[in-house]
Amino acid sequence: MNVAIIVPTLGRPEALGPLVENLRRTTPPVYRLCFVVDPDDEATHSALASLKLAPEVLVLQAGGTYPVKINAGACATNEPLLLPTADDVVFHLGWYEASLIHFERGAQVVGTSDLTPATENGTHATMPIVTRSYIEDPGAAHGEKGVVFHEGYHHNFVETELWRLACHRGVAVFEQSAVIEHLHPSWGTAEVDDTYRRGSLSGWAPDRALFEGRKVEWTS
């Protein structure tokens, strides 16, 4: 099963080449990598243009928040599996193969380990892989067919809603050996930059409040 790997990226041109090479080293040729780039992010566009991008790499111009960009990437791809991720990750050998087993057994969402405390006990997944059929119907966001993430969030809790909702529906499996390492200031594995300030390090409280309000809708 081919997988679309959606990567919103902003202001980190130096990270893109290593990410492309990391995927080539760790992943079978069954993926399409979709970078979602702001139209005015000239440094990123320049960095991508300088790379020898293979046909499996798509560059999509789209602005907006993280969930908006992920949804745009989903609309621009058609692979049967979709992975919403980021430009601050490291794929480990075997991540795809370990996940695929569960899809072959009927899972609709497979949670991966990001090697942070958030996923160490298997109750949460920051980078779940999702079938496109599940995104289309019933929808990976509550009450929204054809949507990966609810766009009312700024950045945080989008994957929380996707994962918790899939678990509530009984269609999710966590696979500890599918490792997509997440480098982030919250865990001391990355330095704070403007992209973090604009993204995951902002809007936490309203995003959490939105999640708690929406969760009531599917649990009540």
Q: Is there a contact between 31 and 20 (Cβ–Cβ < 8 Å)?
A: no
Sign of the four-CA dihedral 32, 105, 117, 216? positive
Confidence of residue 32 (pLDDT cuts 50, 70, 90): very high
How many percent of the chain have pLDDT more than 70? 91
Query: Would you say residue 199 has pLDDT above 60?
Result: no
Q: Is there a contact between 171 and 134 (Cβ–Cβ < 8 Å)?
A: yes
Range with lowest mean pLDDT among 5-9, 86-90, 154-158, 198-202? 198-202
pLDDT, residue 194, reads 64
Query: Would you say residue 125 has pLDDT above 70?
Result: yes
Phi, psi of 112 (to 5 degrees): -110, 160
Q: Is there a contact between 70 and 43 (Cβ–Cβ < 8 Å)?
A: no
**pLDDT digits 0-9 by tens, 142-184:** 999 999 999 999 989 999 999 999 999 999 999 999 999 988 6
Query: Would you say residue 59 has pLDDT above 80?
Result: yes
Residue among 65, 94, 96 at smallest CA distance from 83: 96
pLDDT, residue 131, reads 98
Q: Is there a contact between 74 and 163 (Cβ–Cβ < 8 Å)?
A: no
pLDDT, residue 50, reads 87
AA identity, residue 27: T
Q: What is the DSSP string of the chain?
A: --EEEEEEE-S-HHHHHHHHHHHHHHS-S-EEEEEEE-TT-HHHHHHHHHS---TTEEEEE--S-HHHHHHHHHHT---SEEEE--SSEEEPTTHHHHHHHHHHTT-SEEEEE-SSTTTTTSS--SS-EEEHHHHHTT-SBTTBTT-SS-TTSSSTTHHHHHHHHHHHHT-EEEEEEEEEEE--GGGTSS---HHHHHTTTSSHHHHHHHHHHHHHHHH-
pLDDT, residue 54, reads 80
Give 220 or 122, the one with higher predicted confidence.
122
pLDDT, residue 51, reads 85
Confidence of residue 22 (pLDDT cuts 50, 70, 90): very high
How far is it, in rounded angstroms, from Cα 86 to Cα 70? 10
Fold topology of 3-219: Spore Coat Polysaccharide Biosynthesis Protein SpsA; Chain A (3.90.550)
Q: pTM, whole model, 2 decimals?
A: 0.93
User: Taking the domains of the chain in order of start, what are their residue ranges?
Assistant: 3-219
Residue among 80, 79, 90, 82 at smallest CA distance from 113: 90
